[in-house]
Amino acid sequence: MTQWLVLSVIFVPWLGALLLALSSDRAPRLQHLVASAFAVVTGLLSLCLLPLVTERTVVSVAAGSVFGNFTFVPDGLSVFLTVIAAVIGCLAVIFSIDYMHGEAQLGRYYSLVLLFIGSMTGMVLTSSMLLLFFFWEMMAFCSYALISFYNDDPKAVAGGMKALIMTQTGGVGLLAGALIAYSFLGTYDIQTFLAYAHRLPEFALSIMAFGFLIGAAAKSAQVPFHTWLPGAMEAPTPISALIHAATMVNAGVYLLARFYPAFAAVPGWTTAVVVVGVLSAFLGAVMAITASDLKRTLAYSTISQLGYMVYAVGVGAVYASQFHLMSHAVFKALLFLGAGAVIHAVGTRDMRQMGGLGQKMPFVRNVFIIGTLALAGLPFVNGFWSKELVLEEGLAHGPLWAYILMVLGAGLTAAYSLRMVYMVFYGTAKKEHHVHDAPAAMRTALAPLALGTLVTWLLAGWLSELLTGSLPYHLSHLHAPGTVELIVDVLTAPATLVAIVVIAAGLLAWWYRDLFASLSKAAALPAAMAGADFGFEWLNRVIVGSTLLAGSVLRLTQTGHLSWNALGIAGGAIAVLGLLVWGS
Amino acid sequence: MFNEMNVLMLGILGLFAVGLYALLAVRNLIKIVVALQILVKGAIMAFILAGKINGHMQTAQSVALTVIVADTMVAVIGLALAVQVKRRLGTLDVNELTSLRG
Amino acid sequence: MYLINILLAAGVVYCAVRAVIAKRLLASALWLAGTSAIVAMVLYNLGARELAVIELSVGAGLVTILFVFAISIAGEEGMGERTNIPRPVVWIAVLVFLFLLGEQVLPHIIPIPGGWDLESPFTFALVLWERRSLDVMLQIVMIVAGVVSALGLLAPAMAPQAVKKAGQAAGHKNVAQTAAGDTAENSRRTTAAAGEVQG
Residue to substitute from B18, B23, B39, interface A, most A β-carbons within 10 A: B23
If DSSP codes are grouped into helix, strand and coil, which group holds residue C119? coil
Would you call B70 and C20 a contact, using CB atoms and an 8 Å cutoff?
Answer: no
Angle (CA) B79 B85 B89, round 5°: 160
Q: Looking at this protein, which amino acid is placed at residue A312? A: A
The band of B98, judged by pLDDT with boundaries at 50, 70 and 90, is confident
If DSSP codes are grouped into helix, strand and coil, which group holds residue A102? coil
Please give the Cα distance from A479 to A318 (Å, whole number): 8
ipTM of the complex: 0.91
Would you call A567 and C101 a contact, using CB atoms and an 8 Å cutoff?
Answer: no
Please give the Cα distance from C110 to B43 (Å, whole number): 19
> What residue ranges do the domains of chain C occupy?
1-77
Q: CA of A402 to nearest chain B CA: how many angstroms apart?
A: 49
Would you call C20 and B22 a contact, using CB atoms and an 8 Å cutoff?
Answer: yes
CA–chain centroid gap for A112, Å, is: 17
Mean local confidence (pLDDT), B35-58 = 89
> What is chain B's length?
102
* Facing C111 at nearest CB: one of B5, B15, B75: B5
In this prediction, residue A572 carries a pLDDT of: 93
Nearest CA in chain C to B58: C124
Q: Is residue A328 within 8 Å of A394, Cβ to Cβ? A: no
For residue A566, how many other CB atoms are within 10 A of its CB?
23
Predicted structure pTM score: 0.78
- C-alpha separations of A553 from A566, A571, A572 in Å: 21, 21, 21
Nearest C-alpha neighbor of C51 from the set B19, B8, B43: B43
| pLDDT by 10-residue block (mean), chain A, 584 residues | 87 93 86 92 91 82 81 89 92 89 86 93 91 92 91 88 88 90 87 86 89 90 85 87 88 91 88 91 86 87 92 88 90 90 84 79 88 85 86 86 88 86 79 74 87 86 82 75 76 78 79 66 62 70 86 83 87 90 75
* Facing C109 at nearest CB: one of B6, B19, B38: B6
In this prediction, residue A519 carries a pLDDT of: 60
Please give the Cα distance from B90 to C157 (Å, whole number): 11
Would you call B41 and C105 a contact, using CB atoms and an 8 Å cutoff?
Answer: no
What are residue A61's phi and psi, to 5 degrees? -105, 120
Would you call B64 and C161 a contact, using CB atoms and an 8 Å cutoff?
Answer: no
- C-alpha separations of C106 from A236, A265, B3 in Å: 66, 58, 10
Please give the Cα distance from C142 to C136 (Å, whole number): 10
The band of C187, judged by pLDDT with boundaries at 50, 70 and 90, is very low
All domains in chain B, ordered by first residue: 4-89 (1.10.287.3510)
The 10s digit of each residue's pLDDT in C107-133 is 877 766 555 666 667 777 777 787 788
- C-alpha separations of A389 from A270, A407, A467, B97, C24 in Å: 19, 12, 16, 66, 84
For residue A55, how many other CB atoms are within 10 A of its CB?
15
- Residues of B within 8 A of C189 (CB-CB) are none
The residues facing B93 across adjacent strands are B28
10 Å CB burial of residue C48 (0-12, 13-18, 19+) is: buried
The CATH class for the domain spanning C1-77 reads mainly alpha
A575 at interface of C, judged by CB pairs closer than 8 A: no
What is the helix (H) or strand (E) element at residue B8, kind and residue range? helix B4-25
- C-alpha separations of A186 from A124, A200, A219, A266 in Å: 22, 12, 27, 21
The band of C158, judged by pLDDT with boundaries at 50, 70 and 90, is low
* Facing B24 at nearest CB: one of A555, A556, A567: A567
* Facing B23 at nearest CB: one of A556, A559, A566: A566
In this prediction, residue A308 carries a pLDDT of: 92
A581 at interface of C, judged by CB pairs closer than 8 A: yes
Greatest C-alpha distance within chain C: 78
String of DSSP letters for A519-552 = GGTTTHHHHHHHHTGGGHHHHHHHHHHHHHHHHH
Residue that wins the pLDDT comparison between A285 and B55: A285
B89 at interface of C, judged by CB pairs closer than 8 A: no
Nearest C-alpha neighbor of B21 from the set A514, C75, C87: C87
For residue C144, how many other CB atoms are within 10 A of its CB?
11
What are the contacts of C52-61 at 24+ separation with CB within 8 A? C54/B65, C54/B68, C55/B44, C55/B68, C58/B68, C58/B72, C59/B37, C59/B41, C59/B68, C59/B71, C59/B72, C59/C33, C60/C33, C60/C34, C60/C36
In this prediction, residue A58 carries a pLDDT of: 80
In this prediction, residue C119 carries a pLDDT of: 65
- Residues of A within 8 A of B23 (CB-CB) are 566, 570
- Residues of A within 8 A of C89 (CB-CB) are 567
In this prediction, residue A40 carries a pLDDT of: 94
Q: What is the DSSP letter of A70?
A: E
Q: Is residue A79 within 8 Å of A53, Cβ to Cβ? A: yes
Sequence-distant (6+) residues with CB within 8 A of B91 are B85, B97, C77
Sequence-distant (6+) residues with CB within 8 A of A419 are A289, A510
* Facing A581 at nearest CB: one of C83, C90, C100: C100
In this prediction, residue C162 carries a pLDDT of: 45
B23 at interface of C, judged by CB pairs closer than 8 A: no
A196: left (phi over 0), alpha (psi -120 to 50) or beta: alpha
Would you call B21 and C32 a contact, using CB atoms and an 8 Å cutoff?
Answer: no
Q: CA of A554 to nearest chain C CA: how many angstroms apart?
A: 19
String of DSSP letters for C9-53 = HHHHHHHHHHHHH-SSHHHHHHHHHHHHHHHHHHHHHHT-HHHHH
The residues facing A347 across adjacent strands are none
C83 at interface of A, judged by CB pairs closer than 8 A: yes
Q: CA of C178 to nearest chain A CA: how many angstroms apart?
A: 34
Nearest C-alpha neighbor of A499 from the set A369, A419, A372, A394: A394
Please give the Cα distance from C51 to B48 (Å, whole number): 9
Q: End-to-end CA distance of chain B: give it in Å, rounded.
A: 50
A553 at interface of B, judged by CB pairs closer than 8 A: no
- Residues of B within 8 A of C81 (CB-CB) are 27
Would you call A574 and C100 a contact, using CB atoms and an 8 Å cutoff?
Answer: yes
* Facing B21 at nearest CB: one of C36, C90, C156: C90
